[in-house]
């Protein structure tokens, strides 16, 4: 089984901005609690991804490349609004960090993610990384599609 171990943090600085970004457009065919099915356009590439239940930083993940024209059509079938963001990849002390800068109804939200080989793997935080939000479902992209950041950003502590 393919497994994703991912930790997520709010971004507090702009040291990541020198990285090159790729525009991502994604929607959800299914946002069930037990599984999500995502369609993503990433620049010239496209993917369908199935993710299982999140348990801490761990969940099953299956991702497959699909033709971009198929992704464009599948995005029309998605449930709820489309999530629009730019993703930046940054290397820091041997790890790849991905920073997502959201647009549209999620504008103002910037989140950094790191994928790990095992849940207790040690890593150093870049200076521009703030509070961890791995366990906060408000920051799941599937939730941002239906309850965007603009609806609750003033409640963020």
Please give the distance of CA 85 from its chain centroid, rounded to a whole number.
9
Which helix (H) or strand (E) is 75 found in, with range?
A: helix 68-75
User: Which residues are CB-neighbours of 95 under 8 A, at least 6 positions away?
Assistant: 114, 123
Here the tokens at position 146 are 């239906």
Here the tokens at position 77 are 């079938």
Q: Which of 28, 64, 88, 149 is catalytic?
A: 28
- Check if 28 is active-site: yes
Phi first, then psi, for residue 116 (nearest 5°) are -120, 165
Q: Are 126 and 12 in contact (CB under 8 A)?
A: no
Which residues are catalytic, by number? 28
């Amino acid at each position: 089984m393919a497994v994703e171990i991912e930790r997520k943090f709010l971004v507090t600085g702009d040291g990541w901005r020198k990285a090159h970004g790729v525009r991502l457009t994604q929607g959800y065919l299914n946002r069930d609690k037990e599984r999500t099915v995502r369609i993503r356009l990433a620049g010239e590439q496209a993917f369908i991804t199935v993710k299982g239940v999140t348990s801490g930083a761990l969940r099953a993940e299956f991702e497959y490349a699909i033709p971009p024209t198929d992704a464009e059509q599948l995005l029309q079938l998605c449930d709820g609004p489309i999530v629009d963001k730019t993703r930046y990849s940054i290397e820091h002390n041997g790890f790849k960090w991905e920073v997502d800068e959201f647009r549209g109804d999620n504008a103002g939200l910037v989140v950094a993610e790191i994928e790990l080989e095992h849940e207790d793997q040690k890593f150093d935080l870049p200076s521009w990384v703030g509070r961890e939000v791995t366990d906060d479902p408000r920051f799941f992209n599937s939730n941002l599609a239906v309850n965007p950041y603009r609806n609750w950003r003033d409640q963020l502590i």
